[in-house]
A and B are shown apart, each in its own frame.
Chain A
Amino acid sequence: MAKLTIDGKEIEVPDGTSLFDACRDARGEALPHFCYHPDLSIAGVCRLCQVEVEGMPKLTIACNTGVRDGMVVHTRNERVTRASTQILEMHLINHPVDCPICDQAGECGLQDQYMKYGLYDAEVEMDDKVNKAKAQVIGPHVILDKERCVLCTRCVRFCDEVTGTGELGIFNRGNRAEIGTAPGVELDNNYSMNTVDICPVGALTGRDFRFQKRVWMLKAASSICPGCATGCNVRIDHEAGRIYRLKPRYNPEVNGRWMCDKGRLTYKAVHEDGRLGEPMVAGQPGNWAGVSGAVADLGAKEGFGLAVASPHLSLEEMYLLKKLAGEAPVHGGLTDADRGEKDKLLLDADRTPNRRGLGLLEIGQGDGSALAAVIKGVTGPILIHGGDPAADPAVTEALSGRDVVYIGTHENATSALAAVVLPGAMWAEKAGIFVNRDGRLQEFRQAVARHGNAREDWRILAELLNVGGKEDAPGSLKAVRAGLTSSIDPGTDLNQLPERGFVPGGEVR
C-alpha cells in the first residue's frame, strides 16, 4: 500500500495503482483526459491529465505515473489548471467546432472539458484552421471525420489490443497527422462500433445512429442484449416510443465496457414491419376480449397437450408456461436461426438470450425433428410461445391439422398456421430476467411502449391460466417472480436482483 497526499487529502491505494486512478479516488472526479481509458494501454498522448508532484521539476501526466509512498500531489493549483487549459486550447486549435451537425454534441469530451477546464477565448481564426477530410465512410458501421479528431489513439489501441485486427493507424505528422485506415482496409470487425463509444470527440460516429436524434433528447433504460447467450448489459437509448441505439453498460463480470455490432443492431427487430399488433382468431383480426373464448373453443379448458417454449423468452414466461402446461410436456424449441458463428470476444454461437433459463426450469430442448416427434406423440391443442418453430418443414408437417395457439411478436411461418395468434411484447417492451451462458440471472427493464395492442407475455399466460380454470393466476410480474423464486430457489429474491446480475451458487463459471 502507498500513502500519498492529493490536494491536501491523504489517501492510501495499493502499490501499482496509477496516479490517475488515485487522483480520481481523492478528487471524486477524474482528471481532464482524452487518451486514458481504463480498458486500454496507457498512451500518454493527450497530455491533459498533468499534475504537479512535489520534488519533480516539471508537471507530469498522471496516467503514466505510478503511485509512490509519500507522494505529495497537486491537481487543482494554478500551475496545473493553467497547463490543462492551455493544452485543451492546443487540442482545439484545428477543431472545426461544427457542434451543430456533430452527433457527439451533448456527450462530447471536448464540450464537457471546455466548459470545465477551458473557458478561454480562442485565438485562432476559423480560416486559419487546418482542413481535413470530413464524413469519410471507413467501414460498414463507422464514419470518420478527421477534422474533429484530437489524436488520442483510443480507437487505434482498441483495434490493436481488444479486437487484435489493427485496421486503424495514425498517418502523417504534426498538424497533418490524422487517423485513418490503410488503402483497401475497412474498419470491418464485429466490434467496430465500440470505437464510436470510446472516441471522446465526434471523429468517429456511428452510421446507424447518424443524424437520427440529438443525444440530449434520448432517455435511457437498462436492459440486456437479446442477441446471444452472452447477455451483454446494455442501455437502450429511446425517445417517444422509438429505440435509437444500444450502448454497452459496464459489467465487469459479463461484457466489461464493450458489446458487438450484431448485438447493437438487435433493436431493429422492434420497429421492423411484420410485427403482430392485434390478436388473430382463425386468420381474422379479433380483440383481447374474445381471446379467452377462442382458446377455450380449441379445447384448452382441459389443458394444452403441449407447450413449446422459445429460448428467447424471459425466465418468468418460461416458468408461467410450465405452470400452464401442468402435466403436459414442455419443450424448448430451437431453430436454425438460433445458432451462428462464435467469435473470440463476446459473441456466442448460441444466438438465444435465455437457453440456460430452459435448463434452470428443467425444460427439455431439441431441434426441429425432435419437436416434430414430440408433437406427434401428444393430443390436444398446442401452445407455442415465441420463436418460429414452424420454420422447420418437419415441424410444419407435424403441426398440420392441429389446433395451435401462438404467442409471438412477428408474422412468420408459425403465426400463419396457428388458429389463435396472440401478439406478445419484444424484449425492449417488457421486463424480465435472462439467464446468460454462465448461469447469471440478469434483469432487463421496459424501455418503449408495446406495438399496437400487444400485451406483456406474462399477462397473456396469466389469462390462459384463467381459461384453464387455474385459480392461482398471478396478478403482477412481482407475483410471478415471487412464485419463480420459491419454485427454483436461486438463493436470492428475484424481485431484487443486483444490478450486475446474480449467479445461483456463487460466481464460479
Chain B
Amino acid sequence: MSFEGLPKGSGDKNRSFLESIYLWEVVRGLRVTAGHLIRNILHTDDMPTMQYPEEKRVYGDRFRGRHRLMQRDDGSAKCVACQMCSTYCPADCIEIVGAEHPDPKIEKYPLTFEIDLLRCVYCGLCEEACPCDAIRLDTGIYEIAADSREKFVVDKEFLLNNDTDGTL
C-alpha cells in the first residue's frame, strides 16, 4: 500500500520536531474543540442537538406514524373487515377477524383488528388499500416502546383510541 499523496500524518516517517513531541499537536486539537465550545455557548440556537425527550422534533404532515382506526359517529370502527389492508400489507402484520354486524346496512365489522407494530414497516400501503378510509397512519406518533413483545400487538380498542403517548 502506498501513502503517496496523503497529507502528513501518522503514516509519514519524516515528522518535524514539533510534530514528533506531540504536545504542540495536542494544543492545536484543543484549540479546535475550544473554538466549537465557545461558538456553541454563544449561539445555542444553532446547535443541531435536541433536548429529547423534553423537546421533540416536528415532522411534516405526511409523516407516517403509528396507526389509528377511524370511528363512525357512534364511536364504533369505520372498518368493514374487508381485509384489503392485510392482503396488501408487505409485512403481513395485520390480522382481522370479520363478524356479522346487527345493522344489515353495515353488515360486516371487525371482531378483532390486530397490528403487530414490531412487524410493521410503516409503508402506509394499508391506508392506501383501505376502501373506507378506516385506517390512517397520521397520528404522528413515532415513539413506540414496550417491555414485552406481546404488547406490540395492539388491538382494535387501542387503535380506535390512539391518542396515548408512545408507551404501549
User: With an 8 A cutoff between CB atoms, is A134 at the interface?
Assistant: yes
A134:B105 contact, CB within 8 angstroms: yes
Q: Is the CB of A101 within 8 A of B80?
A: yes
Given A100-B132, A211-B99, A214-B87, also A135-B81 (CB < 8 A)? no
Name 8 interchain pairs, CB-CB below 8 A, sorted by A: A101-B80, A101-B82, A134-B104, A134-B107, A211-B98, A211-B100, A214-B82, A214-B87
Would you call A135 and B107 a contact (CB within 8 A)? Answer: yes
In-complex Cβ contact of A217 among B87, B104, B108 (8 A): B87
Q: Mark B58-100, 1 if CB is under 8 A from A, else 0.
A: 0000000000000000000000111110010000000000111
Least CB distance from B115 to A in Å reads: 18
CA A98 to CA B132, docked complex, whole Å: 11
Most chain B Cβ neighbours within 10 Å, of A100, A135, A212:
A100
Chain A residue nearest to B99 (CB atoms) is A211
A210 adjacent to chain B (CB < 8 Å): yes
Instruction: Please tell me if B29 contacts chain A, counting CB pairs below 8 Å.
Output: no
Q: Which 9 A-B pairs have the closest CB atoms?
A: A100-B82, A211-B98, A101-B108, A135-B104, A134-B104, A214-B83, A101-B80, A100-B131, A101-B107
**Residues of B close to A101: CB separation below 8 A:** 80-82, 107-108
**A216, closest chain B residue (CB):** B87
A212 to B96 alpha-carbon distance, docked (Å) = 10
- The closest CB in chain A to the CB of B107 belongs to A101
Closest to A100 in B: B82
> How many whole Å from B107's CB to the nearest CB in chain A?
5
Residues of A within 8 A of B81 (CB): 101, 211
Nearest Cβ on chain A to B94's Cβ, whole angstroms = 12
CB distance from B126 to the nearest CB of A (A): 14
| B residues near A100, Cβ cutoff 8 Å | 80, 82, 84, 108, 131-132
B89 to chain A, nearest CB (A): 12
Interface size, chain B (Cβ < 8 Å): 15
Measured CB to CB, the closest approach of chain B to A367, in angstroms, equals 44
Shortest Cβ distance from A352 into chain B, in angstroms?
Answer: 35
- Whole-angstrom distance from the CB of B142 to the nearest CB of chain A? 30
Which of B84, B100, B105 is A210 in contact with, Cβ under 8 Å?
Answer: B100
Given contacts A135-B104, A211-B98, 11 further A-B pairs with CB under 8 A are A100-B132, A101-B80, A101-B108, A105-B82, A134-B105, A134-B107, A210-B100, A211-B81, A211-B108, A214-B87, A217-B83
Give the complex CA separation of A21 and B2 in angstroms: 80
Please, which residues of chain A bring their CB within 8 A of the CB of B98? Answer: 211-212
List CB contacts (< 8 Å) of A76-108 with chain B: 98-101, 105
Residues of A within 8 A of B80 (CB): 100-101
Task: Scan residues 19-69 of chain B and give those whose CB is less than 8 A from a CB of chain A.
Answer: none
- Report how far A101 CA is from B110 CA in the complex, Å: 11
Contacts of B104 in A (CB 8 A): 133-135
Q: From residue A145, how far is it (CB to closest CB) to chain B in Å? A: 9
Most buried by A among B84, B99, B108: B108
Shortest beta-carbon distance, A348 to chain B, in Å?
A: 34
Chain A residues lying within 8 Å of B87, measured Cβ to Cβ, are 214, 216-217
Enumerate chain A residues within 8 angstroms of B132, measured Cβ to Cβ: 100
A residues in contact with B84, CB < 8 Å? 100
Complex interface: chain B residues within 8 A of A135 (CB): 100, 104, 107
Q: Which of chain B's residues have a CB closer than 8 A to the CB of A134?
A: 104-105, 107
Taking CB atoms, residues of chain B closer than 8 Å to A210 are: 100
Q: Distance in Å from the Cβ of B90 to the closest Cβ of chain A?
A: 15
* Chain A contacts with B in 83-142, Cβ cutoff 8 A: 98-101, 105, 133-135
Report how far A80 CA is from B65 CA in the complex, Å.
51
A207: nearest chain-B partner, CB-CB? B100
Q: B residues within 8 A CB of A217? A: 83, 87
Q: Within the complex, what minimum Cβ distance (angstroms) separates A313 from chain B?
A: 36
Across the interface, name the chain A residue whose C-beta is closest to B105: A134
A100 to B105, CA, bound (A): 13
A413 to B10, CA, bound (A): 88
Q: In the complex, A99→B105 CA distance in Å?
A: 14
Interface string of B99-117 (1 = CB under 8 A from A): 1100011011000000000
Instruction: With both chains docked as a complex, state the minimum distance between the C-beta of B114 and any C-beta of chain A, in angstroms.
Output: 15
Which residue from chain A places its CB closest to the CB of B84 in the assembled complex?
A100
Per-position 1/0 for B138-153, Cβ under 8 A of A: 0000000000000000
Give the shortest distance, in Å, between B84 (CB) and chain A (any CB): 7
**Chain A 211-226 against B: per-residue CB contact (8 Å), 1 yes, 0 no?**
1101011000000000
Report the minimal beta-carbon distance from A126 to chain B, rounded to whole angstroms. Answer: 13
Output the nearest chain B residue to A217 by Cβ-Cβ distance: B87
Contacts of B131 in A (CB 8 A): 99-100
Q: Report which residue of B100, B104, B107 has the largest number of chain A beta carbons within 10 angstroms of its beta carbon.
A: B107
Shortest beta-carbon distance from A21 to chain B in Å: 36
Q: Of residues A134, A212, A214, which shows the largest number of chain B Cβ atoms within 10 Å of its Cβ? A: A214
Q: Within A121-168, which residues are at the interface with B (CB < 8 Å)?
A: 133-135
Residues in A with CB closer than 8 Å to B108 are 100-101, 211
A217 to B104 alpha-carbon distance, docked (Å): 25
Chain A residue at smallest Cβ distance from B134: A100
Give the residues from 38 to 93 in chain A that come closer than 8 angstroms, CB to CB, to chain B: none
| Residues in B whose Cβ lies below 8 Å from that of A211 | 81, 98-100, 108
Among A133, A134, A211, the most chain B Cβ lie within 10 Å of the Cβ of A211
Question: How many angstroms from the CA of A211 to the CA of B107 in the assembled complex?
Answer: 10
When C-beta atoms are compared, the residue in chain A nearest to B108 turns out to be A101
For residue A214, which residue of chain B has the nearest CB? Answer: B83
In the assembled complex, the CB of A207 is this many whole angstroms from the nearest CB of chain B, namely: 10
Residues of B with C-beta under 8 A to A105: 82
Residues of B within 8 A of A98 (CB): 107
| A486 nearest CB across to chain B (Å) | 48
